[in-house]
Amino acid sequence: MQLDGAGVVVTGGGNGIGAALVRELATRGARVVVNDLDANAAHAVAEEVGGTAAPGDAASEEGVERVIAQAREALGEIDLYCANAGIAPIGGPEAAEGEWERAWQVNVMSHVRAARLLVGPWLERGRGHFLSTVSAAGMLMSLGAAPYSVSKHAAFSFAEWMSATYGHRGITVQCLCPQGVRTDMIENTGRMGELLLKPNALEAEEVARVTVDALGNGQFLILPHAEVAKYYAHRGVDTDHWLAGMRELQKKLD
């Protein structure tokens, strides 16, 4: 991935990990289009880095079409698409129907709809790069937040499918899977965040540096918290033991 002069889109780029990614990518010479539902935040970050603001909904079909059309107008073509926008509803099966639907639309369908518009042109020119901000919840689990956990697992699965299907034709797909990151989102995780996420939380800027450094190696998993690889392997090798450990953590939350 040659970032100098590359055309990049970052959704959810007005705050948190997204804003940190925008700044890091711009520092490396990328031309960045900043999308965020918060128009003021999108414009502020874009102005800061000399980029282009494309505020709006990066989840709905119409919204994704607008963001990508604006990006192509500004960049010519999109070299790297960072599907970073996400939400983290809490609760279990009792969570409102609307919360489950929002999680599905923002955390999963935003990626599907972007890929639908990007893959064709990328295949024609033989290259393209898709970065999914999935979180460790997509590899493991997020206690206390079933809509978030389930939708992030789906996003992870879609990224795997994309990599398997198009990787031999020049499209690189990578998954960013951090645990706790010091953003507004972590402040809304309640006791679960206090107990499990905040003790080892990273600054968004550190996550962005690790991520942008990893764009060049093409490895599917980008793990700012290296221990996630160990947890993921344990989950696969001894699922019952891993689930027993998760139940013990749940007892502490209860």
| Catalytic residue flag (residue 232) | no
Residues with Cβ within 8 Å of 144's Cβ and at least 6 positions away in sequence, in order, are: 90, 91, 92, 189, 190, 191, 192, 253
Angle at 219 between CA 216 and CA 222, to 5 degrees: 90
**Neighbour tally for 231: CB within 10 Å:** 17
Catalytic residue of the set 81, 148, 166, 232: 148
Residues with Cβ within 8 Å of 236's Cβ and at least 6 positions away in sequence, in order, are none
Return the number of other C-beta atoms located less than 10 Å from residue 175's C-beta. Answer: 24
Q: Which residue has the tokens 């221990």?
A: 227
CA distance 47 to 231: 40
Question: What's the order of all strands across the beta sheet hosting 7-10?
Answer: 52-53, 31-34, 7-10, 80-83, 128-133, 171-176, 221-222
Percent of residues in the chain assigned helix, strand, coil, to nearest 5: 55, 15, 30
List CB contacts of 163: < 8 A, sequence separation 6 or more: 172, 173, 220
Hey, which residues are catalytic here?
Answer: 148
